[in-house]
Amino acid sequence: MRLLTAVFICSLFIFYSSSTLAEPDLKQQTISYTQQTHTINSAILNEQRTVVVQLPKSYQANPNKVYPVIYRLDGAGNIPLASAVIERLQNDNRAPEVIIVAIENTNRLRDLYPTVNKEPQGPVGEGGGAAKFLAFIEQELMPLINKSYRTHNFNVIAGGSAAGVFALYTMQANPELFQAHIAYSPAVWWNYGASVKSTKSFIAKTKELNSYVYINIGEESGIMRERYDELQQAMQSHKVLELRFFSDAFDGVSHNLTSVAGAFNAYHNLFLPKQMSINDLTDDVASIDAYYQNLSQQWGEQISPPDRAVRSLGYNLTGSKQFNRAIEVFKYNIKNYPKSVDALSALSYGYEMQGDTRQALEYMESALAIADDSYPYINYLKETKARLQAEFDKRNLVF
């Protein structure tokens, strides 16, 4: 019996102080993470704004590496959760390291809602400043972050409730500014469902949008649930080319905990894993190149199709008896790794499963020709060659 024990501990303490527009305060260490605080004298908002920046663990050790950026609304208190989830995904090669920029609030309702609320259910007269807040992010905050840190042009915006409404608003106001939008239980009831109407209108007239949207909801009911369902159904049913849309509903989870409940799915669905899924493979092996090009664009580094990952696709196909497709994948892999013993023996296996003993023997001999005694499976290769040779000789025995 195998016992898998997972100990998941995240303890991050956030302390910050003010600095000038372009200069952070002294670096402050958490457990392996570095955080810096900036105070921005915003001309657009006519006030000071504070942001906390968390750098990846590898930031100092890899001076040439660039990183995607997650802009997290509602402040640094949200950094530990995002860090914990993304780090677990990183450990499974399912997410890159990221820079997290947490934006502290001053007047939350003013900044995060695009329209002024006129519905008695909520605070009448509040909201309406989202356009100006977005201008601050685009024109003042992002240039500062890109100048101060090694960023990659893959930006995510995430927030919950009012901040979720803002995340959806940014997609409509400037579709190319962020490549992913995460909205935990967005408060779409606001102002008679104004954000639902604007999002539906935007989706209806948009034919193509290379972006990602994740939304969720908890146990909310009443007009909140009704208007959320209207939004979810519209986005689910209206297929926009290149838009990846995911949603969750968590029964029994309170509004304030939907970010906790949804964080894993939000980032797990967002980032492409280094191991390409068989579901992403089409009949054309060019889909492998396309997948790893998209992966590289997300992660901010050039990632070629790994030998092992491609072989895994081929083995998956042989397991489902799709031998011709498997052989095409194995051949594709050899073009990238012509001196790989594993790649050659994998193609040999594909031919053997197809029943082509001659080709199987040929590629097993090629694998043995470049393998030396230090290869951990050298005996397996030799035994397989002997078996294939015997089968080949038996089939071609001349009396």
pLDDT tens across 70-113, in order? Answer: 999 999 999 999 999 999 999 999 999 999 999 999 999 999 99
In this predicted model, what pLDDT tens digit does every residue of 298-329 receive, in sequence order? 999 999 999 999 999 999 999 999 999 999 99
256 or 1, which is more confident = 256
316, amino acid identity = N
For 208, phi then psi, to 5°, come to -145, 135
- Burial class of residue 273 (count of CB atoms within 10 Å of its CB; 0-12, 13-18, 19+): middle
| Res 4 pLDDT > 70 | no
The edge-to-edge listing of strands for the beta sheet with 99-103 is 28-29, 34-42, 47-55, 99-103, 67-72, 151-160, 180-184, 208-217, 241-249
- Residue 16: count of CB within 10 angstroms of its CB: 20
Distance CA 202, CA 200 (A): 5
What per-residue confidence (pLDDT) applies to 395? 87
What per-residue confidence (pLDDT) applies to 16? 32
Distance CA 137, CA 114 (A): 15
> Are the CB atoms for 247 and 212 separated by under 8 Å?
no
- Alpha-carbon Rg of the chain, whole angstroms? 26
Q: Which of 13-17, 84-88, 223-227, 291-295 has the lowest mean pLDDT?
A: 13-17
Over residues 180-189, mean pLDDT: 98
* 3-state SS, residue 234: helix
> Are the CB atoms for 245 and 213 separated by under 8 Å?
yes
Over residues 145-168, mean pLDDT: 98
Alpha-helix runs per DSSP H in the chain: 79-91, 108-112, 130-136, 142-148, 162-173, 190-205, 222-237, 258-270, 286-299, 307-319, 323-336, 341-354, 357-370, 378-395
What per-residue confidence (pLDDT) applies to 13? 27
Over residues 133-160, mean pLDDT: 98
Give the tokens for residue 39: 């105070």
126, amino acid identity = E
The HSE-up count of residue 279 (CA atoms within 13 Å, CB side) is: 2
The CATH T-level fold of domain 295-395 is 1.25.40
Which residue bears the tokens 């009443």?
A: 222
For the chain, the structural domain boundaries read 28-270, 295-395
- Share the mean pLDDT of the chain: 92
pTM of the model: 0.87
The class level of CATH for 28-270 reads: alpha beta
Give the tokens for residue 95: 């997410």
Sign of the C-alpha dihedral, residues 225, 206, 265, 134? negative
pLDDT tier, 397 (very low <50, low <70, confident <90, very high otherwise): confident
What per-residue confidence (pLDDT) applies to 20? 31
> Are the CB atoms for 178 and 71 separated by under 8 Å?
yes
Distance CA 271, CA 97 (A): 11
User: Which residues sit opposite 208 in a β-bridge?
Assistant: 241
| Res 174 pLDDT > 70 | yes
Q: What percent of the chain has pLDDT over 90?
A: 90
Over residues 14-32, mean pLDDT: 41
What per-residue confidence (pLDDT) applies to 17? 30
What per-residue confidence (pLDDT) applies to 398? 52
Single out the residue of 226, 215, 218 nearest to residue 251, CA to CA: 218
What per-residue confidence (pLDDT) applies to 396? 84
> Are the CB atoms for 125 and 117 separated by under 8 Å?
yes
Sign of the C-alpha dihedral, residues 371, 373, 376, 378? positive
Over residues 241-266, mean pLDDT: 97
| Res 335 pLDDT > 70 | yes
